[in-house]
Every structure is written in C-alpha cells, then in structure tokens.
Amino acid sequence: MEQMMEYVPNMYATFWALVPPLVAIILALVTKEVYSSLFIGIVIGGLFYGNIFQQGFSFEKSVLHIFEDGLVGVLSDPYNVGILIFLVVLGIMVSMMNKAGGSAAFGQWAGRHIKTRIGAQLSAVLLGMLIFIDDYFNCLTVGSVMRPVTDKHQVSRAKLAYIIDATAAPICIIAPISSWAAAVTGFVEGEDGFAVFMNAIPYNYYALLTIIAMLTMVLFKIDFGAMAVHEANAAKGDLYTTPERPYANPAPDTVKGRGTVVDLLFPIITLIICCIIGMIYTGGFFSGTGFVEAFSGSDASVGLMLGSFFALVITIVFYALRKVLTFTESCGCLPEGFKAMVPAILILTFAWTLKGMTDSLGAKEYVAGLVGGISGPWLALFPAVVFVVGAFLAFATGTSWGTFGILIPIVVSTFSGTNHTMMIISISACMAGAVCGAHCSPISDTTIMASAGAQSSHINHVSTQLPYVLVVAAVSCITYIIAGFVQSPVLPLVIGIVLMVGTLFGIKYLMKNIGVRDKKDKVQ
C-alpha cells in the first residue's frame, strides 16, 4: 500500500497530464460519439500512468489504474454516489410529474398564455433563473417542464439545451443560496469564504454577460453558427436537424388526466425547500450553527441526496391524497426515472474517471506552476490570465469545482494580506473561467445534464453552444483586463455589456448581409 501511495508516473505534472481529456474532447467533437471518446481518453490516461513509451512500462499498473482506481474508485466515492442518487430521484420525480399530468397541465396553461417563440424561450429563461439551488436540479426540471412548450413553438432542442445550460451554472455561481456557493466557500482558506463569494458576484462577468447575451439573442432573434441551422430547421418542423435523435418518439407516459398545474409546482417547490433544509442540516444548522455558516459549510452531495429523498416521499403522499397517482403507480415510476437517467449516469461516470486520470498525472500541479509564476507588472493582467487558464482547465477536465480547488488557493495565497480587491477580482475570474470552460466542454456534468434535460443529442448541444460561449468568453476576457487596472466592478461591467450587445448586433448585421449577398450570387 505504501508503494502504491509513493508511486509517481514519469509524466507527472507535465503537459502530458492534459492530453487524455483533450483527446477525449477532440474525438467527441469529430466522431460525434461521446461514450467511446471518453473511454479512449481514460485508457490513454491509464497508459500514461503506467509510463508507456518509457522505461519501466507496466501494463498491469495501467489496467488496474483504469478499473480499480478509476471506474470502481469513482463509483465507490461517497460524494459521487450521493450525486447519482440525487439524479435518480430527480428522474423519478420528473417521471411522476409527467404521469400525474402535472407537466401536461402546465403545457396546456402555457399554451394558453405563451403565444410566440420568443415567449416560450423567455419562459424557459425565467424558470431557469428561478431554480438556482443546484445546476443538476435546474437542468432536469427546466427541461421537463419547458420541452412541450418550446416544441409547440418550434424551438430547436439544441436551443432549449443552450438556454438550460446558460441558466444552470451561470445562475448558480452568482446565487448565494446554492450548492455552488457552498462549494466555493470551502476552497477559500484563511478568509471568510461566504463574504468573499458575495463580494465576488459583481465581478463575475462571464455569468452576468451570459445572461445579457442570452436575453439579447432571444429578444432580437440573433442566432449564428450551427445554432442558426438548427433554429431554421426547427421553424420547418425538424427539432433535431441531425440523424442523431436518441430521444425522438419516446414511449408515452400514461397520463391519468386529473393533474393540474399544482401537481407540477408543488413537487418543484417541495424539492427546493427540502434541498435547502438538507444542505443546512449537513452544515450543522440544527446543531446551533448560523444559517450562512451552515450553508457555506454544507455537504452538497449529502444535502441534495437527503433533500430529494424527502421531497420524493412528500410528493408520493401528496399525489395519493389528491388521487392523481396511487402509491403503486408512483412506485412504478421508480424504474422509469432510473432508466431515463442511465445515459447521463454513464457519461458522468466516464467523465469522473477521466478527471481521476488527470489528477493522478498531476494536472493540478502543472497548472498551479503556470499560474503561480505571474508577478510584477503583469499583475494587473492576473484576473484575465486566471480566467483563461480556468476556462481551459475546466474545458479539459470537465469540472468547474475541480478548477475552483486548483486555482482559488493559488489566488488566495498570491493576494491574501496584500491586495484584497485584486484577490476578490481574481477569485471571481477563477469562478467565471471555470463556469465558462465547463459550459462548453462535452465532458462537463452540467453540459451532459443540459442535453439530458432538453432531450437533445449531446454532441449537437456542444457544437451549437460553443460559438455562443466563445463570444461571451472573449468579451469577458477584455472586461477582466479592464477590471485588473481599474479594480472596480461597475465600469468594466458597463463596458462589457456594451461590447456584448454591440458584438451580437454586429454578428446579426454581418449574417444578414452575407445572406443577401449569397442570394444575389445564386440569382446571377
């Protein structure tokens, strides 16, 4: 055991540590097949761990690392198991809401009140903003509730997936009461973590500009890149565009027909309340700890697992009392909910395993060495550098929280006791970069859940969302450069909003002119 703990691969803390996730991402984008791409990345990581291409290569060590330390390790990790249970319970509750007729009733209500494609998209945006407690919860709930509405108004599944994704992590990272706030505060050692998080919100330019960009594109009908193709096809009745449509023509749920809107709202509200109670319970609230301290010190995995379980029990009793679903019918939703989550669980398992491969190869140490060497006159550019590095790291590893754990301690140690404002800006840049990278990474759990929630092809979601994320990221990077010099949140944000809106209208103008020119060329 001691030998295993002391073992360090020859490629440790080098650029090679980032090769496995990069290979997985490139393969996923090229082949359009996410399962095999992730597994190949895992295998490459295992081979690197066993020192392939070098003296002392051990095939046995590579195989055991892939399966024992990797797949078995992530599935035996209590935190991961808690998240998986939470996902399964969410899937069950979504299945129950559908079978009880709550989702259908909401769809009918929305059909009477939402008359346009813009209205359907704005409703999805609003619901996504209201469900700020957790990104997983957001993805599955918004998708389940809004899919019938957006389908009716011919909004592509790729566009719905983007709206879900853009209102998940970007909203959670600026919400004080969320699992993300709890995660961030845990990485800020030696400081008041919750106070740091609150102070960092005005500087979280990527999250704020994502909201601005999303609303601008919806209100003014601005679509570009692959998304423009998907939206044009959706307007003609094809919601998927590509042949890959794993969720098309699903087996219909047996709807009893007695459900009303309350049968949708009650489970959602119950789930939010129970998850908040579950999180503060894990933080020691009922043992005398203050609410803020309890929330910031909570265990998101255990809290969400407990909260979702009690919400499920309450919902089963609620439906039975209202006679919209019997106890037996509710129990019948258990395997259906689990089955619906299997693709997401499989991808998450592979993604977690791939992260384990990068960790064992010293990706954290390699990135820490790169960022920690910045000093002197370049210090004003530090937030922008942290943003870019955080985005790259989260994109390559697929984890925002892992990126927090790598970069936030570096930022705190760099500025603690010297420049508190710059520390706040840089921590916010780290959070923004991590959200940005994970937002467009095909191996990110939030991206995976957004695809599952919208019932969109995962690769379609990634390819259509990527240009949008890159535009917002570019503007955010410029904004962080300005913030590093002025060290104030308002002026950079105003400049960022002007740049963001101006860029989108510039893209719309160019696309319109290119379209007109193409039509003229065809006529000639």
pLDDT the model gives residue 1: 42
Does residue 493 belong to any structural domain of this protein?
no
CA distance 433 to 472: 11
pLDDT tens, position by position, 325-375: 889 989 888 998 888 778 778 877 887 788 788 888 887 777 667 666 555
Does residue 308 belong to any structural domain of this protein?
yes
Give residue 278's identity as a one-letter amino acid code.
G
- DSSP track, 189-253: TTS-HHHHHHHHGGG-HHHHHHHHHHHHHHHTT---THHHHHHHHHHTT-SS-SS--TTSSPPPP
**Alpha carbon distances (Å) from 63 to 11, 60, 357:** 17, 5, 12
pLDDT the model gives residue 423: 86
Phi/psi at 180 (5° precision): -70, -40
Does residue 111 belong to any structural domain of this protein?
yes
Q: Are 449 and 351 in contact (CB under 8 A)?
A: no
- What is the span of the domain harbouring residue 295? 78-189+255-348
Q: Are 447 and 438 in contact (CB under 8 A)?
A: yes
Write the CB contacts of 522 (distance below 8 Å, at least 6 apart in sequence). none
Locate tokens 């019997």: which residue? 326
CA distance 451 to 418: 43
pLDDT the model gives residue 111: 72
Locate tokens 């090679």: which residue? 16
pLDDT, the chain, mean:
83
CA distance 220 to 144: 26
Does residue 46 belong to any structural domain of this protein?
no
CA distance 213 to 131: 19
Cβ atoms < 10 Å from Cβ of 109: 14
Does residue 332 belong to any structural domain of this protein?
yes
Cβ atoms < 10 Å from Cβ of 169: 30
Phi/psi at 191 (5° precision): -130, 165
pLDDT the model gives residue 285: 87
CA distance 156 to 150: 8
Phi/psi at 11 (5° precision): -90, 10
Phi/psi at 420 (5° precision): -65, -40
pLDDT the model gives residue 358: 81
Locate tokens 């740091």: which residue? 196
Does residue 11 belong to any structural domain of this protein?
no
pLDDT the model gives residue 38: 82
**Alpha carbon distances (Å) from 522 to 224, 369, 515:** 21, 55, 11
pLDDT the model gives residue 353: 86
pLDDT the model gives residue 524: 42
**Alpha carbon distances (Å) from 283 to 178, 197, 291:** 13, 17, 9
pLDDT the model gives residue 506: 93
Give me the residues of the chain with pLDDT under 50, please: 1-4, 251-256, 516, 519-524
Element (H, E) at 461: helix 458-486
pLDDT the model gives residue 249: 53
pLDDT the model gives residue 305: 87
Does residue 474 belong to any structural domain of this protein?
no
CA distance 125 to 234: 19
pLDDT the model gives residue 523: 38
CA distance 11 to 363: 10
Domain count for the chain: 1
| Residue 434 CA, distance from chain mean position | 10
Does residue 185 belong to any structural domain of this protein?
yes
CA distance 196 to 431: 12
pLDDT the model gives residue 246: 61
Write the CB contacts of 53 (distance below 8 Å, at least 6 apart in sequence). none
- Terminal Cα distance for the chain, rounded: 75
